[in-house]
Amino acid sequence: MVYQRIVLAYNGSEAGQKALLVSKNLAAWSQAQLHLVAVMPLHLNTVVAEGIVYSNQEEELQKEAYQAILNQGLAMLAKEGWSATGELVSGDPVTEICECAVRQHADLIVVGHKHKDGWMKRWWSGSVSQSLIEEAPCSVFVTIS
């Protein structure tokens, strides 16, 4: 299958870096358009737990950090001569990545995955890549680091 539009769920992690390289190679091979999406978790401006308040200022700092990660991924691609687009969204990662894929008319989502040590960590944390496989509107390519 030749892919026309690829969405990369990018978070700047080691697994994300590997997914960036894979998606660039897939896009080059199939001459596809490449779009990066970074998902910032949505927080409420209220008391979260045990007196911790999540403020608008903290949200702006987090937004700047996620935008910097996205810009880094786009810059890495540009440095290698590859043109890509990107966007920063906030909310549930699986929902936002799937909605981005629909908006972009993507036929492939690429996401990085890091194996978690121990059954307790795997059970407790859940997996974006696993959930994407179930929810995605198109094919999903999972890179393992």
Domain CATH code at residue 17? 3.40.50.620
Q: Residue 131 above 80 pLDDT?
A: yes
CA-wise closest residue to 18 among 117, 137, 103, 129? 129
For 5, the token pair is 């539009």
For 36-90, how does the pLDDT look when each residue is reduced to its tens digit (9 = 90+)?
A: 999 998 765 444 555 555 677 888 899 999 999 999 999 999 998 889 999 999 9
Of 36, 24, 20, 16, which is closest to residue 106 (Cα–Cα)? Answer: 36
pLDDT tier at 118, thresholds 50, 70, 90? low
* Boundaries of domain holding 134: 5-144
- C-alpha distance across the termini of the chain, in Å: 25
Q: How many structural domains comprise the chain? A: 1
Report pLDDT for 122: 44
Instruction: Supply the mean pLDDT for the chain.
Output: 86
Residues ≥6 apart with Cβ < 8 Å to 136: 97, 98, 101, 109
Task: Please tell me the pTM assigned to this model.
Answer: 0.85
